[in-house]
Amino acid sequence: MAAIIERDGRYLLVEEHTPEGLCLNNPAGHLEAGETPLQAVVREALEETACRFEPQALVGVYLSRFRRPARNEDVTYLRFAYAGTVSPPQPGRALDDGIVRTLWLTPEEIRAERHRHRSPLLMRCIDDHAAGRRYPLELVHADPSLFEPEIKCPPT
């Protein structure tokens, strides 16, 4: 889940420690059990930026693949990117472990740092946002079974 946050022509990014070094990324993270994509993106944005994120639209759904030979990892990512606004940072709230700082950068500044992008999806999401891609939040449906899983074959 990724938060795409633009204000006055600048996008909010995080600078974070990764096994590949200090990288830039959209505020983003993984979906947890029993959590909707909207809940996850709000939580991740808060943890990584100390700002409350208010999703307004879905920018897109993206697939990418990442290989990390040193750890023999080959991972496919499915990203839901949401556009929205943020509150000012909450005083005294620490950033998530590994996050060094937040930055507000223009698309040109972000493009110039391509060698530090955590994922090719960082720029793609910003380009799609800048191009005006917006879909209703209702496009992603969370079935109630997410919160109370059904038992399909009850014990006899």
| Average pLDDT of every residue of the chain | 94
For the chain, state the CA radius of gyration: 17
155 pLDDT tier (thresholds 50, 70, 90): low
Asked if 52 and 42 count as a contact pair (C-beta separation under 8 A), the reply is yes
Tokens in use for 56?
A: 């307004």
CA distance from start to end of the chain: 40
What tens digit of pLDDT does each residue of 66-101 get?
A: 887 778 888 899 999 999 999 999 999 999 999 999
Which residue shows structure tokens 């940072």?
89
Of residues 70, 63, 64, 76, the one with CA closest to residue 20: 70
Question: Residue 55: what residue type?
Answer: P
Is residue 156 predicted with pLDDT exceeding 80? Answer: no
CATH domain 2-146 topology: Nucleoside Triphosphate Pyrophosphohydrolase (3.90.79)
What tens digit of pLDDT does each residue of 48-63 get?
A: 999 999 999 999 999 9
What tens digit of pLDDT does each residue of 99-150 get?
A: 999 999 999 999 999 999 999 999 999 999 999 999 999 999 999 888 887 7
How far does Cα 81 stand from its chain's mean position? Answer: 6
**pTM for this prediction:** 0.91
